[in-house]
Amino acid sequence: MLNDPILVNDWHPVTTVRELEETNLVAARLLGEDLVLWRVDGQTLAWQDLCIHRGTRLSLGRVDGDELECPYHGWTYDTTGKCVSIPAHPEQIPPRKAVVKTYLAQERYGLVWVSLGEPEHDVPPFPEWDDPAYRNVICGPYGPFEASAPRAVENFLDVAHVPFVHGGILGDRDHADIPEYEVSVGQEGIETSVISIYQPDPYGTGSGETVTYTYRVYRPLTAYLDKLSKDGTRFSIFFTVTPHEETQSTVWMHYGLNEKYTISTEELRAFNDSIIYADMPIIKSQRPELLPLDLQAELHLRSDRTAIAYRRWLNELGLTIGTS
């Protein structure tokens, strides 16, 4: 397991509830740790993906009632991770040490979240998920791809790239100037003031307008965007990144759309895919791969103030993985 107390003691999404429901046995990788996820009676379980007999992946095994059976010699484990049966020695009580390493797991916003340690914070809020005034759309997942998770989060917070990477859609190179805005850092993370941006085609309908963005960063790898148009069209994006390895990540994006936003779910997914697929090669190309927290290491201008606050905050928290 990668050694980063901040990320180890936090929640991270590793798969969707839907995938777990469909397959009932999912392998995932989080912070350099192989996990097996399974479900029994509505209980979500996340274990180290390793049979303690010969180190076989339990995710290759099968769920039998409320037990998980290793594919190699059929040792079976109960929901607490304890081995309860060794078929080669049916008369023998399994040794007390025959216990799989277990982790905390919970389901929120259609995702399965795992903590490898003892989380001090809950999964960050996404109020539109349970609000009947909003339609929820799960986009992605995007990845795994080769980039550090903080680089991916910083890209989501970066407004100055929009006229170039998403020119003609979310930005316009003839309107590339970024207006003044404020950023505050507190107990709950980072929050920006309202940022006005001209967008040539913000909703895929072909007409341009000035919209406002407000960002929040709740946890090192979870952020939120509130986007509002003059006509009252509003949506929010819950953005979170899974750090599989220090430089391998998956991005998850959930939308909450109010009734004014009439785009179909399929169209929105396709639209969001095209946006992210434009960002990915940029993020993958960035060097150093690890986000430099020393503000002397790269150049920062006024328009980068969310990134400056993000790097400072990560540095104060003591984040090490994905940063340098």
For ligand FES, the binding residues (CB under 6 A) are 51, 53-54, 56, 70, 72-73, 75
* Closest by CA position to 251, among listed 277, 228, 226, 270: 277
CB of 169 to Fe ion, least distance (A): 10
Q: Which residue is nearest to Fe ion (CB)?
A: 279
The option from Fe ion, ligand FES, none interacting with 302 (CB < 5 to 8 A, set by class) reads none
Interface residues with Fe ion (CB under 5 A)?
Answer: 279
Q: What's the token pair of residue 218? A: 């709740």
The option from ligand FES, Fe ion, none interacting with 70 (CB < 5 to 8 A, set by class) reads ligand FES
Q: Is 120 helix (H, G, I), strand (E, B) or coil?
A: coil
CB of 186 to ligand FES, least distance (A): 48
Decide whether 53 or 312 has the Cβ nearer to ligand FES: 53
Decide whether 54 or 302 has the Cβ nearer to ligand FES: 54
The option from Fe ion, ligand FES, none interacting with 123 (CB < 5 to 8 A, set by class) reads none
DSSP conformational letter for 82: B
CA-only gyration radius of the chain, Å: 22
* Closest by CA position to 111, among listed 15, 217, 212: 15
Decide whether 88 or 299 has the Cβ nearer to ligand FES: 88
The option from ligand FES, Fe ion, none interacting with 56 (CB < 5 to 8 A, set by class) reads ligand FES
Q: State the residue for tokens 């929901």.
A: 79
Q: What's the token pair of residue 87? A: 């078929």
CB of 282 to Fe ion, least distance (A): 8
CB of 63 to ligand FES, least distance (A): 15
Strands (DSSP E) along the chain, which ranges? 12-16, 25-30, 33-40, 43-48, 62-64, 67-69, 76-77, 83-85, 102-108, 111-115, 135-145, 183-186, 189-192, 195-199, 209-219, 222-228, 234-245, 248-257
The option from Fe ion, ligand FES, none interacting with 129 (CB < 5 to 8 A, set by class) reads none
CB of 48 to ligand FES, least distance (A): 13
